[in-house]
Structure 1
Amino acid sequence: MTSSQSDAPDEASVHGMDEASEKLRKEILREQVRYLIEAMGGPDAAAVVWTEDGWLDYLYRPGVLLARDEHWTEVAELLGAQRVEGERIQRQRGLTVLQVALDSETTVPDVLERVDRELGVGKATPDHILFVTPGGGGGYACPATEPEEPGSDPAPHPAITSDLGAGTEVFVSVVDTGWWPPAATDPVSPWLAGVDGDPETIDTSNIHPYAGHGTFIAGIVRTQAPAARIRVEGFLPLGGAVYESEIVVQLGEALAHGPDIISLSAGCPTRGEVPLLSFEVFWEQRLRHQKGTVLVAAAGNDGHRKPFWPAAFPWSVSVGAIDADGSRADYSNFGSWVDVYALGTGVVNAYPTGTFFCHEPPNVGEKREFTGIARWSGTSFSTPLVSGLIAARMSQHGISARKAADQLLVEAAAAGRRGVGPILYPAN
């Protein structure tokens, strides 16, 4: 494994694809990572570790480590690190953020090897970057495609359920890029009336990558639960990315609103596939005490079985993607840690009106015009479908989100498909 902030290496790897496809997907991946690092503030704010065969391993915050409160002093003494004081990210009880002084030849992964060796694996971890952007082993994005024009007769797909009362008295928190307010009054997306959230700033003459992601997701929830109250939190404004230490503080703030369901279409791979420390602490200190609340999280779009966090935690509902024919989407992550699969390919819903220029090969520079609706693919979009189904079940049976999710997972297992796994289909 190598650590770098430059382009990924070009060595061949075996991912079940031909050489030309692999080369294209690595080009896409390099562009995604370049954009993400630039959006986060450059190499001083975001760094990347690549695998030896040129795929994304993980992204992290340079010069910063995380440790549990009970471990930080021994980590600090070993490395000469300093506890970060006064920052908002220090508000997460149980988690300490440490600044470590590094020379030009030393990286966070380098010093963590010393921590692993002398104190034990997991005593300190990187401050990983969660994202709705790059894919890893498969070279896909999350979302798995750039937004596409929906065609001549755009309508939401999946369609809005016939049960217009589904989701009554249910509150869904969509943790994402923010909310595009015009969608709530646009005649092409009436199902979004009443949705609110943190406004997302969008230049509609040149819509930036992943803009409108949160609005699109809110629309999908509404197709399955038209009566649900939805708030879109703008926790991922920087290229759809955020430090793990920051998002757990924001999730705590979201919990203060009392949501039944948190829908999170973001995540990341981690160093050594060790669970996200910040989310472990968040679960222990906050979420497990919020009786009945469920976190529904995207399984990621890397096309492999390696865990993607926080979806891989046993206390989350992890969602992979299927195509329209019910087969597992080739971009979807999979494995025993994925709880359920739902439609994620060719989903149609609300999107900002404006002009989008493609950033990824082979469509770089292609101009796409949108009039309030787009077609998009990825586990980002199968996730809110499941969130909406949970919301609908809650209102239909007067039960908590946790009980509704458990019931739906039992039904999904019964409807499971060989070679895929448990499946939930959209409401009629």
Structure 2
Amino acid sequence: MAPQRFHEQFDHIQRAMPDIALAMGPYDDGAAHFLYEKGVVLARDGEEARVVEDTVRAHFTATAGLVPDHVRREGPQANRTGVTRIRIGDPAEGTDSVPHALRALRDAEGRQGRRLVGRNHLVHIAVNACPSDEPVPVPRGRPANPAAAEGRYDAATAARVLVVDTGLVHDHGGYPLLAHTTGDTQPAETDADGALRQYAGHGTFIAGILAAVAPNTEVTVRNTMSDAGAILESEFGARLFEAVDEGGWPDIISLSAGTTTEGTDGLIGLDAFMRELREQRTLLVAAAGNNSSNAPFWPAAYAALPEYEGSVVSVGALSADGESEACFSNHGPWVRVFAPGERLTSALTGFDTPVPYVYQHSTYDTCRFGFDYTCTCQLPRHTGVLSEGRESTGAKPHQVMFDGLAQWSGTSFATPVVAGLVAAHMTAQQERDPRAARDLLLASATDTTEVRGARVTVLRPPTWRPASAVDAAVPV
């Protein structure tokens, strides 16, 4: 992953979350994998939190001259997520003590035989703060891709899908496929200049894909990640519980967010939610991430853990021709299925009144992941506000207008394709168990492709077409 884009997005997120001090995770081959909160670690409530607190306090008092008050718990000590925030270090110094604390706890974790502590990661819909691309306007009259499948909405038989993302744009009702979509409207869609904010419309775009693939679906969108598409791990578990509590556990959760970690462990902040999910019949369909990496991306990577493989399916993205993985898609044995995710067309915003958008990132001369096809890293060409070197060259950021539909790429959008296919299978086969529907759908899948030397299962909606075929069918 190109460090340039990562740094640009890091600055954007930090400005959007000024009260939270963020840091970049360790680098591997020149690429930062994740963001996290400075000076805070997470532990499970109870005895484990006490062990963490005592161990870190003893280590820092002996080696760094800190006083006991410099290791302290924050917030309520008993909550449904079962997580305790522990702040480490002198807040007046502004330094990050988390790496030292993690090293101090290695021996204690060895004695306990399990991980006791983790960073407070930033979970982000742009997956590791590096979006595969930004939305592109499409001409009026261009069809959605995937196009709307045959069928109609019937409240009595509809599959229930919960989208945890950014909220719906205010004029989403101008798109017929979203007539039965409910949920939260995203506040502050535009900035002070009236331009669309980055990631505004992300949840709406996902809802449009779901409704196209599975018309007989009751889609609810929750505005969980409206702050630059990001949320701290310590808050994310609670927000997921709130989302399912509001309307009850749905058939399917479509989640296009996550993060990698320093190792191969999951997220302490999601432990309680994942355990409760496992006991429900809900299926979590989660994006594999856009880092062109095989590093596990959580919560999608829970699909590879035996205790969660029945309740989670992880989704990678196919290229625009549908024949191979998209350049940006994560991969590896923990990614269970691939679906179209490059240059899809769905609802964005501007149905009532066209709305401008100013690009944040510049495109590249060549694919930033080293692929040799014409990918979204390169086209369509534009210059972004955040791009390094823009001011020195005098290049002005490009602005476009959206008036309804858009083209967008990412595992974020391959995810609702799979969620929609599972939902459609449920209603077509009158199957009320989404996990059984997923199993039957994957068992009947005959398409595969090769990704990094491995054959992987591919799901393509019947109404999806390669981007080149859609382009050829639209009059110029």
| Interval containing the TM-score (normalised by the shorter chain) | 0.7 to 0.9
| Counterpart residue identity of residue 444, structure 2 | E
1:264 and 2:255 aligned? yes
Provide TM-score, normalisation by structure 2. Answer: 0.78
How big is the alpha-carbon RMSD for the aligned residues of Structure 1 and Structure 2?
Answer: 2.0
The one-letter amino acid paired with 1:62 is: K
Shift of residue 110, structure 1, vs aligned partner: 2.1
CA distance in 1, matches of 2:243, 2:48: 27
> Residues 176-325 of structure 1: matches in 2 within 5 Å?
176-184=165-173, 186=174, 189-201=175-187, 202-203=189-190, 205-256=194-245, 257-258=247-248, 259-284=250-275, 286-290=276-280, 292-314=281-303, 315=308, 316-325=312-321
Asked if the contact 1:29–1:134 (Cα under 8 Å) also holds between the matched residues in 2, the reply is no
> What are the equivalent positions in structure 2 for 1:146-185 lying under 5 Å apart?
146-165=134-153, 168-184=157-173
1:129 and 2:116 aligned: no
Q: What SS does structure 1 have at the residue aligned with 2:195?
A: coil
Structure 1 segment 5-404 matched on structure 2, within 5 A: 25-41=2-18, 44-51=20-27, 53-69=29-45, 70-80=47-57, 81-86=71-76, 91-102=79-90, 103-120=93-110, 122-133=115-126, 135=128, 141-142=130-131, 144-165=132-153, 168-184=157-173, 186=174, 189-201=175-187, 202-203=189-190, 205-256=194-245, 257-258=247-248, 259-284=250-275, 286-290=276-280, 292-314=281-303, 315=308, 316-326=312-322, 327-353=324-350, 354-362=355-363, 363-364=383-384, 365-399=397-431, 400-404=433-437
Matched AA of 2:99? P
Distance in 1 between residues matched to 2:154 and 2:461, nearest whole Å: 13
Alignment deviations for residues 76-129 of structure 1 (CA, whole Å, 9 cap, x no partner): 112233232338xx5234322222234544421221111123434621001111
Question: Gaps (5+ residues) in structure 2?
Answer: 58-70, 364-382, 385-396, 464-476
Indicate the larger mover: 256-265 or 116-125: 116-125
Which sections of structure 1, spanning at least 5 residues, go unmatched? 1-14, 16-24
Other-structure match for 2:460 = 425
Q: CA 1:60–1:401 in structure 2 vs 1: closer, same or farther (change >3 Å)?
A: same
Paired residues of 1:108 and 1:126 also in contact (CA < 8 A)? yes
Moved more, 388-397 or 275-284: 275-284
- Aligned to 2:456, what secondary structure does the other structure show? coil
Q: Per the alignment, in what secondary structure is the counterpart of residue 302 of structure 2? A: coil
CA distance in 2, matches of 1:105, 1:195: 45
Q: Is the 8 A contact 2:342 2:408 kept in 1?
A: yes
TM-superposed CA distance for 1:380, in Å, is 0.3
Is the 1:300–1:379 Cα contact (8 Å) retained in structure 2?
Answer: yes
Q: 1:382 and 1:30, CA in 2 relative to 1: closer, same or farther beyond 3 A?
A: same
**Partner SS state of residue 272, structure 1:** coil
SS in 2 for 1:174: strand
264-273 or 45-54: bigger deviation: 45-54
Deviates most, 50-59 or 29-38: 50-59
The amino acid across from 2:338 in the alignment is: Y
SS state at 2:449 partner:
coil
Matched with 2:374 is none
Equivalences, count? 391
TM-score by length of 1: 0.86
**Rg comparison, structure with higher value:** 2
Between the two proteins, what is the percent identity of the paired residues? Answer: 36
Q: Distance in 2 between matches of 1:361 and 1:26?
A: 13
CA contact (8 A) 2:125 2:256 kept: yes
Question: What SS does structure 2 have at the residue aligned with 1:313?
Answer: helix
Out of 264-273 and 73-82, give the one that drifted further: 73-82
The 1:68–1:347 alpha-carbon spacing in structure 2 relative to 1, beyond 3 Å, is same
Question: Which secondary structure state, in structure 2, belongs to the residue aligned with residue 421 of structure 1?
Answer: strand
Answer yes or no: is the 8 Å Cα contact 1:346–1:376 preserved in 2: yes
- Work out the CA distance in 2 between the residues paired with 1:324 and 1:344: 7
Residue 62 to residue 106, structure 1, CA distance change in 2 (3 Å): closer
Contact 1:165 1:225 in 2 (8 A): no
